[in-house]
Chain A
Amino acid sequence: MEQFKVLLVDDEEEFVLALAERLQMRGLDSRVVHNGEQALHMVQDYAPDVMLLDLKMPGMDGLEVLRRAKKMRPRVQVVILTGHGSQQDEEIARRLGAFDYLQKPADIGDIVATLRRAHSGSNA
């Protein structure tokens, strides 16, 4: 199985920890952070291939994280996973370079498939 690094960014700790554990069980190297500032540090230090990013977080919101992460590391692929998103948010996210946009709660199979597609995209 091709290995790649996934960074999960979500302020809902119980959600993101359980999700990270499930991704690990499916062979994906996953790290977790809970806010935008931590996410940007990890983009620099951990250099994820794919980022799974919530939109609405206290402090820096997901769209700002997306914009800055793409500037810092253009090859990082970003998949939005949100329970709050509007159609307008989706359009902005895609314009800023998001690979895909998923609604919470999503099926683990869909999340894994999207992360794998995003990683393939990053190598294209």
Chain B
Amino acid sequence: MKQTTANELAFFGKITAGFTHEIKNILAIIKESSGLMEDLLELTKDDPFPHWERFSHRVLVIRQQVQRGVELTTRLNRFAHSPDEPVNRVDLNELADQLVRLSERFARLKEVTLKASFSDSQVTLVTSPVELQMAVFALMEGCWNEMPAGSEIVLRVELREKSPCILVRLAGNEEALAAAKHKVQSSDGYQAARELLQELGGEILADIQDGFALVFGDTKE
């Protein structure tokens, strides 16, 4: 990656990460305020005022939504820190989980679900965290754009003949998925992923039965 681009990404990441911290502070205020309301409701549960149950339900909804906001903000914060180091050691299980969480909204709009399936052992790779995420996202985007509604993408991390590997498995109607897989290989997403992987010293293997394998050889130390 060019140094100018790396600096621009680092700047963008720094500002975004700063905002996620502020959002967490806001969520903390909402959480404690609604928590206090919950405590006060608990004190009056034996002598409830009119609409006590409706209040109680709404406070519970606030608590659940704060939790959702915290999870999303934490994900966004980690993502924003991706460009901190242009090249870094990446835990592929963590990366797969992160990408699934960040991408599931995009897939859901195409009625495709995303899942991560973790390796029992830690698989790491020294690489550009930003470019690696871009490559996997581009391939997944190419897939969900072509896959029939109701199908599923599973990211699985493993060692393939001692090489770090991310499997992008397509699950659902086999016949429809075989046609979709064929179309994916001529999609923009697939081409972008292939070029990025070449830069990172990896390649996409399309000759596996139910999807694609992103295999990495040399790592950038």
Size bracket, chain B contacts: 10 to 19
Determine if A14 is an interface residue (Cβ-Cβ < 8 Å): yes
Q: Given the complex of chains A and B, what is the CA–CA distance between A104 and B21 in angstroms? A: 9
Per the bound structure, the CA–CA distance linking A25 and B43 in Å amounts to 10
Cβ of A15: which chain B residues have Cβ within 8 Å of it? Answer: 25, 28-29, 32
Residue of A nearest to B21 (CB): A84
Majority secondary structure of chain B interface residues (helix, strand, loop or mixed): helix
Distance, CA A71 to CA B21, complexed state (A):
30
- Which of A21, A25, A83, A104 is most buried by chain B, counting CB atoms within 10 A of its CB? A83
Q: Are B36 and A104 in contact (CB under 8 A)?
A: no
Which chain A residue lies CB-closest to B43?
A25
- Which of chain B's residues 173-216 have a Cβ closer than 8 Å to chain A? none
Q: How many A-B residue pairs have CB under 8 A?
A: 43
C-alpha gap A19/B28 in the complex (Å) = 10
A108 to B28 alpha-carbon distance, docked (Å): 11
B73 to A, closest residue via Cβ: A83
B33 near A14 (CB under 8 angstroms)?
Answer: yes
Q: Which residues of A contact B24 (CB under 8 A)?
A: 83-84, 104-105
Q: Is the CB of B32 within 8 A of A105?
A: yes
Say yes or no: A22 contacts B32, CB within 8 Å. yes
The answer for the CA separation of A108 and B33 in the assembled complex, in Å, is: 12
Do B70 and A22 touch across chains, with their CB atoms under 8 A apart? no
CA distance A22 to B28 in the complex (A): 14
Q: Is the CB of B29 within 8 A of A25?
A: no
B66 touches A105 (CB 8 A): yes
A residues with CB within 8 A of B = 12, 14-15, 18-19, 21-22, 25, 56, 83-84, 104-105, 108
Name the 4 nearest CB pairs between A and B, nearest first. Answer: A105-B28, A83-B24, A18-B32, A105-B31
